Amino acid sequence: MKTPSKILIARLSSIGDIILTTPVIRCVRAMFPDASITFLVKAKYATLLINNPHLSKVITYDDAGKGELKRITRQLREEHFDWFIDLHKSLRTRYIRLNTSFSEVTGYNKQILARTLLIYFGINRFKTIKPVYLRYFEAVRKYSIHYDDKGTEVYASHSDNDIVNRQLKADGITGARQLVVICPGASYKNKQWLPERFAEVAISLHNDSSTEVVMLGGSADSRLCDGIIALTKKDIVSYAGKFSLLQSAALLQRSALVITNDSGMMHLAQSQKVPVVAIFGATSRELGFYPFPQKSVVVEKEVSCRPCTHKGLNHCPRKHFNCMNRITTADVLTAAQSFVPEIKS
């Protein structure tokens, strides 16, 4: 079996999915230390990979422009890759496979049929629950590459860390108390726990002399975070939309605990090896995106209609939202005590 010398890995989006590819990147590098390893990703997510020491190069794809797919395919043809590891298996990566010459192409099982039966018909055909980061390793098993139990990784730069340090200092967050970061956003509404209950958690943490609480998210979460802070009537800082992805990683790295929905921020927190309390509503373990068991607690309630979606919806199909409504403030605070025992529930 010929040893590949030029390897292309592709996962175009999104935050969590890309972060979950990093164990494969690391393990492929360990197996082929002298190979050139390139990653293809959408431009807006490239920062998650630019400091990854296991990659030789990152090629960005900008789907906003016409003809971009043809352009990127021409560029890839000129690179003469030996091995294409397709960790997306989308129409775009299929186009690339069909229009670029690779000596070898491998992918993984997205389990679309089992997922569809579970979500739309309530028929569970998952014989085993295999998380996505392990499914990705199906694409490299030909070379006996296996998961190394080291989790995911995203690397913030010295500059990112300096920016975060300066901002925390300016906001009077000195590290004297344990930092708890609340990430109340998610890409879809039915993956978001109730804002008023996030506010109750924030109040409890703010009133606790052992903890300091801040809010974090992307620019789309700014209004949500501000609304939660308004409900608390407390002097809590929100960094939603104020930090880049890598700066957010640098902030998360400083935390004693992160409380989050099923979101990209959950995966970003785990890439920094910090404890996570993850609140899951519409989605379930079978879909593959639960946090790594190390340093995590999942808070969830079993309801008959769950899961109702794969990626998320902006409404509850049954109009009761019991998967989230039944999760109480005490449930989340009790889970938080697993990592910060001083927290009062």
Q: Are residues 135 and 54 in the same domain?
A: yes
Does 344 fall in a domain? no
Q: Are residues 247 and 324 in the same domain?
A: yes
Residue 78 belongs to domain spanning:
6-143
Q: Which residues fall within 8 angstroms of residue 94, CB to CB, at 6 or more apart?
A: none
Q: Are residues 122 and 170 in the same domain?
A: no
pLDDT tens, per residue, the chain with 345 residues: 689 999 999 999 999 999 999 999 999 999 999 999 999 999 999 999 999 999 999 999 997 667 899 999 999 999 999 999 999 999 999 999 999 999 999 999 998 888 899 898 888 888 788 999 999 999 999 999 999 999 999 999 999 999 999 999 999 999 999 999 999 999 999 999 999 999 999 999 999 889 999 999 999 999 999 999 999 999 999 999 999 999 999 999 999 999 999 999 999 999 999 999 999 999 998 998 999 998 999 999 999 999 999 889 999 999 999 999 999 999 999 999 999 988 876
Domain boundary among 78, 109, 143: 143
**DSSP string covering 21-81, please?**
THHHHHHHHHH-TTSEEEEEEEGGGGGGTTT-TT-SEEEEE-TTSTTHHHHHHHHHHHHT-
Domain harbouring 229, CATH code: 3.40.50.2000
Does 149 fall in a domain? no
Q: Which residues fall within 8 angstroms of residue 60, CB to CB, at 6 or more apart?
A: 40, 41, 42, 43, 46
pLDDT at 120: 87
Assess contact for 277 and 335: CB atoms under 8 A. Answer: yes
SS3 state at 129:
coil
Q: Which residues fall within 8 angstroms of residue 246, CB to CB, at 6 or more apart?
A: 47, 48, 51, 154, 155, 156, 157, 160
DSSP 221: G
Q: Are residues 97 and 231 in the same domain?
A: no
Does 1 fall in a domain? no
Does 191 fall in a domain? yes
Does 175 fall in a domain? yes
Assess contact for 184 and 198: CB atoms under 8 A. Answer: yes
Number of domains in the chain: 2
Respond yes or no on whether the N-terminal peptide bond of residue 23 is cis (omega within 30° of 0).
no
- What's the pTM value of the predicted model, to 2 decimals? 0.96
Domain boundary among 83, 110, 143: 143
Does 341 fall in a domain? no
Domain boundary among 85, 108, 143: 143
